């Protein structure tokens, strides 16, 4: 399988294609088996690998290929993104309106445990747009102002959720934690390192304090690993924020670990830096993208037409 850069910088993602330009699932599986160590080494350097041109057809082929790549299912209990199960370990990528973008983030960086790798598969590319945006954590850390890094390292990030019983915004607590039982919920939250409280009106309050950075277990690099900019109310449209925040109706928000507020200016600068590191490539039908979740941030661009992208979260 020939290897080529997907972008210009040497540490950015690479793409594998079949010998002779034409391939199928069998060719991909054979290539993975023969070059597994090389693939793992490249993932640690480049953060993501695209497998293109192997004529993968649908979720079943995706599942077989990911299994050969060593994917092992990671439970999404506690995840806040809406997803639809396609096969046992295969889900749709975030079910979110086509007109909206999903900002760059590391999967489940608002939780004490997270998937090590992510896999995405393009079953139907959008007519226009719909790219899975990427940003290498090395670029983000190099570009982020030192005072922001220092503040977040010292003060951490506290993620807060409100599940309002009569105000449906996003997933319910039952959908999020995959239980209907309050006692089981309490046990799940305890294991996730979260505190919770039930309000008089039936609202569930959940708070989780996490480090803003983590160390990659194999490379030893300190990596940006938080979703402060995505959870902070400054990410909302101003009119929506003005409507929800004064009434205490935000579905989620974040603050410093000690409960003190984060200033909007810091979050604006974080968004600017992360966006400046954005990498975009256009999906082709049958593409399979493998990400190191600690090294590579991902998001989604707005799109037109029909877009079907599947996801697999892997604990290894």
Total residues found in the chain within this entry: 316
Closest CA to 114 of 236, 297, 257: 297
Q: What does the block give as tokens for 157?
A: 């990030």
Closest CA to 86 of 66, 106, 69: 66
Residue whose token pair is 């009569």 = 166
Output the pTM of the full model. 0.94
CB < 8 Å & 24+ apart, contacts of 272-275: 273/140, 273/143, 273/144, 273/145, 274/103, 274/104, 274/135, 274/140, 274/229, 275/104
By the 10 Å C-beta count (0-12 exposed, 13-18 middle, 19+ buried), 204 is classed as: buried
Q: What is the pLDDT of residue 246?
A: 86
Residue whose token pair is 């919920």 = 185
Closest CA to 39 of 1, 77, 76, 67: 1
If one counts every other C-beta atom within 10 angstroms of the C-beta of residue 181, the result is: 11
Closest CA to 196 of 187, 137, 13: 187
Percent of all residues in the chain with a pLDDT value above 90, rounded to a whole number = 86
Q: How far is CA 184 from CA 104, 181, 191, 228, in A?
A: 32, 5, 11, 28
pLDDT tens sequence across 149-194: 999 999 999 999 999 988 877 899 999 999 999 999 999 999 999 9
Q: What is the mean pLDDT of the segment spanning 35-52?
A: 96
Residue whose token pair is 């290897």 = 3
Least trusted range by pLDDT, from 54-68, 98-112, 234-248: 234-248
The alpha helices in 100-179, defined as continuous H runs, are: 137-143, 146-155, 173-177
In the sheet that 296-300 helps form, which strands lie side by side, from edge to edge? Answer: 102-105, 296-300, 134-136
DSSP H or E stretch at residue 264: helix 264-276
The model's confidence at residue 88, banded by pLDDT at 50, 70 and 90, is: confident
Would the pLDDT of 135 be above 80?
A: yes
Q: What is the mean pLDDT of the segment spanning 280-289?
A: 98
**Residue 127 and residue 304 in contact, taking contact as beta carbons nearer than 8 Å:** yes
Q: What is the pLDDT of residue 207?
A: 97
Q: What is the mean pLDDT of the segment spanning 252-266?
A: 96
Domains in the chain (CATH in brackets) are 3-138+278-314 (3.60.130.10), 149-274 (3.60.130.10)
């Amino acid at each position: 399988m020939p290897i080529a850069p997907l972008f210009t910088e040497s540490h950015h993602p690479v793409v594998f294609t079949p010998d002779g330009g034409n391939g199928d699932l069998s060719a991909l599986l054979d290539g993975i088996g023969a070059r597994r160590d090389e693939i793992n080494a490249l993932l640690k350097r480049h953060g993501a690998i695209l497998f293109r041109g192997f004529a993968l057809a649908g979720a079943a082929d995706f599942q077989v290929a990911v299994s050969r790549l060593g994917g092992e299912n990671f439970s999404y209990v506690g995840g806040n993104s809406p997803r639809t199960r396609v096969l046992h370990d295969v889900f749709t990528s975030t079910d979110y309106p086509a007109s909206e973008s999903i900002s760059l983030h590391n999967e489940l960086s608002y939780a004490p445990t997270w998937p090590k790798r992510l896999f995405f598969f393009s079953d139907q590319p959008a007519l226009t747009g719909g790219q899975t945006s990427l940003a290498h954590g090395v670029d983000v850390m190099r570009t982020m102002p030192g005072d922001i890094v220092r503040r977040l390292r010292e003060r951490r990030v506290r993620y807060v959720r409100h599940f309002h019983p009569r105000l449906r915004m996003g997933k319910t607590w039952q959908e999020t934690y995959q239980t209907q039982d309050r006692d089981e919920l309490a046990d799940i939250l305890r294991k996730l390192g979260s505190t919770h409280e039930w309000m008089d009106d039936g609202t569930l309050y959940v708070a989780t304090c996490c480090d803003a950075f983590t160390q990659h277990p194999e490379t030893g690099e300190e990596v940006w690993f938080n979703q402060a900019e995505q959870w902070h109310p400054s990410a909302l449209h101003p009119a929506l924020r003005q409507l929800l925040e004064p009434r205490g109706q935000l579905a989620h928000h974040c603050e410093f670990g000690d409960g003190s507020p984060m200033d909007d200016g810091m979050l604006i600068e974080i968004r600017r830096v992360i966006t400046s590191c954005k990498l975009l490539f256009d999906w082709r039908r049958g593409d399979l993208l493998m990400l190191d979740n600690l090294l590579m941030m991902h998001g989604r661009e707005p799109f037109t037409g029909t877009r079907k992208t599947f996801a697999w979260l892997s604990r290894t």
